[in-house]
């Protein structure tokens, strides 16, 4: 039976009185208002973990085909002589994510065509300017946006298929950045101090004092200003406390400049040619038309002239001025040290784009304890636990705290976590199973804590709250505005529903916790597998909700006896030593590492 395909949750595009083929789970949210709709949902192409792993290699190979050509083109356009590594630092994060997003959308469409008889599809009209991001932040907003994704699906369908298309005019959906919020002026000493530090006078003095610094520390993931200052002082440099400004882009679009960016990829694959042909239409304005703003003398003057060592974590993603300056410095032979800044870096088999990028651009990569053979990794203390107590407070008579991840609407990172399709359904079922099994017995002490939001609304993407409240309206769901640390202090057991930073923080601080994760859909890396097998033996890691629920009920009345059992304690220590190592003096350890690197300068 033929169907009409729908690629978005924007209901004005949905046909009436016919059977619908939804392209993916991101279309389904409005279904609650259409109980009689006849529909099928396409299988997601990355539901198969084997294909997900194979495509990691494939997409990485594409990246390494494109990057040298793109670097050469950018050198010609901007009249520069940067190395490929320098351009990787600058535009690599965008390129890796662009490849993943276009491949995912392309595969979704062509998988559907191969598996179903499709009568027609509704697409929207679009222009090239609708698709191009201004900068990293704008790109991040766009690829989560329904209207932008609808345009991407429409473009791919129009340009690569023979489907019958009906074109519609669709208004852009109001996105997170469009929401209005009442701004209140609240006086605080902390805010006053920040205003003083970011004043022009303070910045001028700071520049004079740090101009010849041999070390530059930026967004180090150290958990307090005092730790940052301590590390700076023992390295004998003035701590740079003022906020690094962000460039502002107005967003002109030059067809002429984008013509210069065009190039062909020597490939027999239709997708690879399509991907390459569209780079000029998706390349961020900040790296092309407005690159001169990033490369300004004023921006460079904010940083030291000739440091030996640059140490950062998320700085290689978050600030274009810093990225440009760091790219200039590594060509002067400064050593770039990048620190791990999150969980699952070494534990997931599918590594996502972060680790390959960070290893490629850094001279040394500071991990939280693990090491990779034939790589530039340097095992160190966990930065996220720096300055925190190794035995943090918790309440033996406290709550059962379930910590949630967000339900991702679209794919934008190549990872086994947070994908649409089967992983979406599996995670949703996990939360429902936990609520239905635990609420009747533990409703007075059961709490669900939402994943941190990234904008003005409570949840990042698909809301979890209505799903859970539909089962038990009185369920205690805690906003991301309440810190996890404050909740954990009042909890007897932390129930982590995903493997990531929060699990490492919990187990690293000695707070009772369990982890629930499907190792088929989210397989572990070779270096991690044995450790998770041991965590499973100890009752810390669970592959299924039923196993976790049984364990929770068995230990809930006396968590301490289980958590501090000698065999469980040893397994915890072994795991933490490799993946979230704590230190009595992390600042001294980091200083020793950085000084050792400086001596090789």
Listed range (7-16, 57-66, 107-116, 227-236) with the worst mean pLDDT: 7-16
Query: Mean pLDDT across the stretch 140-164?
Result: 96
CA 8, CA 30: separation in Å to the nearest integer? 10
> Can you give the length of the chain in residues?
601
CA 549, CA 438: separation in Å to the nearest integer? 7
CA 69, CA 217: separation in Å to the nearest integer? 32
Which pLDDT belongs to residue 184?
45
Cα dihedral 375, 379, 383, 387, rounded to 10, equals -170
CA 142, CA 165: separation in Å to the nearest integer? 24
CA 524, CA 527: separation in Å to the nearest integer? 8
CA 320, CA 326: separation in Å to the nearest integer? 10
Over the stretch 51-88, which tens digit does the pLDDT of each residue have?
A: 999 999 999 999 999 999 999 999 999 999 999 999 99
pLDDT band of residue 179 (cuts 50, 70, 90) is very low
Over the stretch 425-464, which tens digit does the pLDDT of each residue have?
A: 999 999 999 999 999 999 999 999 988 654 445 677 888 9
pLDDT band of residue 171 (cuts 50, 70, 90) is low
- Crossing angle, helix 49-78 and helix 270-277, to 10 degrees? 40
Which pLDDT belongs to residue 215?
97
Query: Mean pLDDT across the stretch 507-535?
Result: 96
Q: Does 399-579 match 199-242+296-387+583-598 at the fold level?
A: yes
pLDDT band of residue 469 (cuts 50, 70, 90) is very high
What is the domain partition of the chain in residue ranges?
199-242+296-387+583-598, 399-579
Mean residue pLDDT of the chain comes to 92
Q: Does domain 199-242+296-387+583-598 have CATH number 3.10.20?
A: no
More confident residue, 115 or 129: 115
Per-residue pLDDT at 495 exceeds 50: yes
Cα dihedral 412, 417, 422, 426, rounded to 10, equals -140
Per-residue pLDDT at 16 exceeds 90: no
Runs of H (alpha helix) within 116-145? 128-131, 136-142
Over the stretch 470-491, which tens digit does the pLDDT of each residue have?
A: 999 999 999 877 899 999 999 9
Per-residue pLDDT at 584 exceeds 80: yes
Query: Mean pLDDT across the stretch 173-185?
Result: 39
The residue assigned the tokens 């609708």 is: 130
CA 126, CA 109: separation in Å to the nearest integer? 18
Per-residue pLDDT at 172 exceeds 70: no
CA 339, CA 283: separation in Å to the nearest integer? 28
Q: Which CATH code of 2.60.120, 3.40.50, 1.10.286, 1.10.3470 fits the domain covering 399-579?
A: 3.40.50
Among 127, 142, 58, which Cα is nearest to 94's?
142
Per-residue pLDDT at 181 exceeds 80: no
Q: pTM for this one?
A: 0.93
3-state secondary structure 528-596: HHHHHHHHHHCCCEECCHHHHHHHHHHHCCCHHHHHCCHHHHHHHHHHHHHHCCCCCCHHHHHHHHHHH
Over the stretch 336-356, which tens digit does the pLDDT of each residue have?
A: 999 999 988 999 999 888 999
More confident residue, 460 or 101: 101
């Amino acid at each position: 039976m033929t169907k009409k395909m729908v690629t978005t949750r924007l209901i004005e595009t949905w046909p009436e009185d016919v059977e619908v083929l939804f392209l993916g789970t991101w279309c389904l949210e409005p279904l609650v208002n259409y109980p009689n709709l006849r529909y099928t949902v396409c299988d997601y192409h990355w539901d198969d973990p084997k294909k997900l792993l194979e495509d990691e290699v494939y997409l990485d190979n594409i990246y390494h085909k494109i990057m040298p050509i793109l670097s050469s083109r950018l050198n010609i356009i901007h009249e520069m002589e940067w190395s490929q590594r320098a351009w990787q630092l600058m535009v690599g994060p965008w390129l890796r994510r662009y490849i993943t997003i276009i491949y995912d959308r392309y595969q979704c469409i062509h998988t559907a065509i191969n598996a179903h008889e499709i009568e027609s599809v509704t697409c929207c009209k679009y222009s090239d300017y609708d698709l191009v991001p201004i900068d990293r932040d704008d790109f991040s907003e766009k690829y989560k946006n329904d209207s932008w994704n609808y345009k991407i699906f429409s473009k791919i369908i129009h340009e690569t298929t023979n489907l019958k298309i009906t074109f519609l005019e669709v208004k852009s959906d109001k996105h997170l950045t469009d929401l209005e919020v009442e701004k209140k002026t609240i006086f605080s000493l902390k805010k006053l101090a920040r205003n003083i530090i970011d004043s022009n006078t303070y910045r001028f003095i700071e520049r004079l004092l740090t101009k010849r610094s041999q070390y530059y520390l930026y967004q180090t993931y150290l958990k307090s200003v005092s730790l940052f200052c301590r590390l700076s002082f023992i390295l004998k440099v003035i701590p740079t406390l003022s906020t690094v400004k962000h460039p502002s882009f107005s967003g002109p679009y030059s067809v002429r400049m984008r013509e210069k960016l065009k190039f062909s990829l020597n490939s027999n694959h239709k997708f690879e040619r399509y991907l390459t042909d569209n780079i000029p239409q998706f390349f961020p304005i900040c790296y092309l038309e407005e690159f001169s703003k990033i490369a300004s003398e004023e921006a460079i003057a904010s940083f030291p002239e000739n440091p030996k060592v640059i140490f950062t974590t998320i700085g290689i993603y978050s600030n274009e001025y810093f990225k440009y300056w760091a790219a200039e410095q590594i060509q002067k032979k400064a050593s770039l040290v990048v620190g791990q800044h999150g969980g699952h870096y070494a534990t997931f088999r599918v590594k996502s784009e972060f680790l390959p990028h960070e290893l490629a651009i850094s001279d040394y990569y500071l991990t939280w304890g693990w090491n990779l053979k034939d790589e530039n990794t340097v095992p160190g203390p966990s930065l996220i636990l720096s300055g925190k107590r190794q035995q943090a407070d918790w309440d033996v008579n406290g709550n059962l705290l379930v910590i949630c991840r967000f339900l991702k609407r679209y794919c934008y990172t190549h990872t086994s976590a947070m994908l649409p399709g089967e992983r979406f359904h599996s995670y949703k079922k996990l939360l429902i199973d936990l609520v239905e099994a635990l609420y009747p017995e533990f409703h007075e002490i059961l709490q669900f804590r939402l994943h941190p939001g990234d904008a003005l609304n409570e949840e990042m993407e698909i809301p979890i709250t209505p799903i859970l409240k539909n089962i038990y309206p009185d369920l205690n769901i805690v906003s991301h505005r309440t810190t996890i640390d404050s909740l954990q202090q009042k909890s007897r057991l932390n129930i982590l529903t995903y493997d990531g930073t929060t699990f490492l923080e919990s187990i690293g601080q000695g707070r009772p916790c369990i982890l629930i994760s499907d190792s088929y859909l989210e397989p572990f890396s070779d270096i991690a597998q044995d450790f998770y097998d041991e965590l499973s033996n100890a009752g810390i890691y669970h592959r299924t909700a039923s196993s976790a629920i049984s364990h929770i009920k068995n230990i809930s009345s006396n968590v301490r006896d289980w958590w501090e059992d000698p065999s469980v304690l040893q397994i915890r220590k072994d795991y933490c030593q490799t993946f979230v190592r704590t230190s009595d003096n992390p600042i001294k350890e980091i200083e020793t590492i950085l000084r050792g690197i400086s001596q090789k300068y």
